[in-house]
Chain A
Amino acid sequence: MTISNIQRRRFDSLIIGAGGGGLRAALQLAEADASVAVVSKVFPTRSHTVAAQGGMNAALANVLPDNWHWHMFDTVKGSDYLGDQDAIEYMCRAAPKVVYELEHFGVPFSRLDNGRIYQRPFGGQSQNFGGEQAARTCAAADRTGHAILHSLYQQNIRAKTHFFDEYFAVDLLKDDDGNILGAFVFDIHTGEELIIEAKTTLLATGGAGQLFRTTTNALINTGDGMGMALRAGIPLQDMEFFQFHPTGIAGRGMLITEGARGEGGYLVNVNGERFMERYAPKAKDLASRDVVSRAIETEVREGRGCGPDKDHVMLKLDHLGVDVIQKRLPGIRQTCITFLGMDPAEEPVPVYPTAHYTMGGIPTDRHGQVVIPVKDTPEEAVTGLYAAGECACVSVHGANRLGGNSLLDILVFGRAAANHIIDYLKENHYHRPLNEKSVEKAYQRLHRWDDTGEGESVEKIRSDLKRVMEKNCGVFRTQDVLDNGIKEVSALHEKLKHARIKDHSAMFNTARVEALELENLMDVALATVYSASARTESRGAHSRVDFQERDDMNWMRHTLYSLEGRKLDYKPVRTKPMTVATFPPKARVY
Chain B
Amino acid sequence: MRFRIYRYSPEKDQKPFMQDYELNNIVPGMMLLDALLLLKEQDPTLAFRRSCREGVCGSDGMNINGTNGLACITPLSELKEPVEVRPMPRLPVIRDLIVDMDSFYKQYRDVKPYLIVKDPLPEVELQQTPEQRDKLDGLYECILCGCCSTACPSFWWNPDKFLGPAALLQAARFIEDSRDQATEERLDALDDPFKLFRCHTIMNCIQVCPKDLNPTKAIGNIKKIMVKKSL
CB distance from A111 to the nearest CB of B (A): 5
Contact of A459 with B141 at beta-carbon distance under 8 Å, contacts A51-B56, A104-B126 already known: no
Q: Is A419 an interface residue (CB 8 A)?
A: no
Question: Which residue on A lies nearest to B11, using beta carbons?
Answer: A505
Q: Is A392 an interface residue (CB 8 A)?
A: no
Name the interface residues of B43-57: CB closer than 8 Å to any CB of A: 44-45, 47-57
Contact of A50 with B56 at beta-carbon distance under 8 Å, contacts A104-B121, A501-B44, A505-B45 already known: yes
- Chain A: number of interface residues, binned into ranges: 35 or more
Task: Give bound CA distance, A105 to B59, whole Å.
Answer: 24
Contact of A335 among B40, B54, B95, B100 (CB under 8 A): B54
Given the complex, which residues of B lie within 8 Å of A51, measured CB to CB?
52, 54, 56-57
Task: Give bound CA distance, A103 to B180, whole Å.
Answer: 12
CB distance from A145 to the nearest CB of B (A): 8
CB distance from B72 to the nearest CB of A (A): 9
Given the complex, which residues of A lie within 8 Å of B141, measured CB to CB?
143, 146
CB distance from A336 to the nearest CB of B (A): 11
Contact of B9 among A252, A254, A505 (CB under 8 A): A505
Contact A45 B52 (CB under 8 A): no
Contact of B57 among A158, A218, A254 (CB under 8 A): A218
Contact B11 A115 (CB under 8 A): no
Q: Is B124 an interface residue (CB 8 A)?
A: yes
Question: Which residue on A lies nearest to B113, using beta carbons?
Answer: A154
CB distance from B32 to the nearest CB of A (A): 12
Task: Give bound CA distance, A143 to B12, whole Å.
Answer: 42
Contact A157 B130 (CB under 8 A): no
Task: Give bound CA distance, A154 to B116, whole Å.
Answer: 11
Q: Is B157 an interface residue (CB 8 A)?
A: no
Name the interface residues of A463-520: CB closer than 8 Å to any CB of B: 501-503, 505-511
Contact A104 B140 (CB under 8 A): no
Task: Give bound CA distance, A116 to B44, whole Å.
Answer: 51
Contact with B along A138-160 (1 / 0, CB 8 A): 00100100110011001101100
Task: Give bound CA distance, A48 to B59, whole Å.
Answer: 11
Q: Is B16 an interface residue (CB 8 A)?
A: no
Task: Give bound CA distance, A108 to B140, whole Å.
Answer: 8
Given the complex, which residues of A lie within 8 Å of B40, measured CB to CB?
459, 510
Task: Give bound CA distance, A151 to B73, whole Å.
Answer: 25
Contact of A112 among B47, B58, B94, B130 (CB under 8 A): B130
Contact of A507 with B58 at beta-carbon distance under 8 Å, contacts A106-B115, A113-B130 already known: no
Given the complex, which residues of B lie within 8 Å of A334, measured CB to CB?
55
Contact A507 B140 (CB under 8 A): no
Question: Which residue on B lies nearest to A49, using beta carbons?
Answer: B57
Q: Is B101 an interface residue (CB 8 A)?
A: yes
Q: Is A189 an interface residue (CB 8 A)?
A: yes
Contact B121 A219 (CB under 8 A): no
Contact with A along B118-158 (1 / 0, CB 8 A): 00010111111110110010001101100000000000000
Given the complex, which residues of B lie within 8 Å of A541, measured CB to CB?
none
Task: Give bound CA distance, A218 to B59, whole Å.
Answer: 11
Q: Is A338 an interface residue (CB 8 A)?
A: yes
Given the complex, which residues of A lie within 8 Å of B128, measured CB to CB?
111, 115
Given the complex, which residues of B lie within 8 Å of A458, measured CB to CB?
44
Given the complex, which residues of B lie within 8 Å of A72, measured CB to CB?
none
CB distance from B79 to the nearest CB of A (A): 15
Q: Is A90 an interface residue (CB 8 A)?
A: no
Q: Is A339 an interface residue (CB 8 A)?
A: yes
Q: Is B189 an interface residue (CB 8 A)?
A: no
Given the complex, which residues of B lie within 8 Å of A510, measured CB to CB?
40, 47-48
Question: Which residue on B lies nearest to A105, using beta carbons?
Answer: B115
Contact B58 A254 (CB under 8 A): no
Name the interface residues of A185-231: CB closer than 8 Å to any CB of B: 189, 218-220
Q: Is A232 an interface residue (CB 8 A)?
A: no
Contact of A158 among B45, B51, B114, B127 (CB under 8 A): B114
Given the complex, which residues of A lie within 8 Å of B105, measured CB to CB?
43
Given the complex, which residues of A lie within 8 Å of B95, measured CB to CB?
507-508
Q: Is A109 an interface residue (CB 8 A)?
A: yes
Q: Is B217 an interface residue (CB 8 A)?
A: no
Name the interface residues of B69-104: CB closer than 8 Å to any CB of A: 73, 94-96, 98, 100-101
Contact A507 B109 (CB under 8 A): no
Contact B143 A45 (CB under 8 A): yes
Contact of A109 with B57 at beta-carbon distance under 8 Å, contacts A48-B51, A154-B113, A510-B47 already known: no
Q: Is A319 an interface residue (CB 8 A)?
A: no
Task: Give bound CA distance, A48 to B29, whole Å.
Answer: 24
Given the complex, which residues of B lie within 8 Å of A42, measured CB to CB?
49, 51, 57, 59
Task: Give bound CA distance, A458 to B57, whole Å.
Answer: 25
Given the complex, which residues of B lie within 8 Å of A254, measured CB to CB?
53-54
| Chain A to chain B contacts (Cβ below 8 Å), 5 pairs | A43-B105, A51-B52, A116-B127, A158-B112, A335-B54
Binding site for B on A (CB under 8 A): 42-43, 45-48, 50-51, 99-100, 103-106, 108-117, 140, 143, 146-147, 150-151, 154-155, 157-158, 189, 218-220, 252, 254, 331, 334-335, 338-339, 458-459, 501-503, 505-511
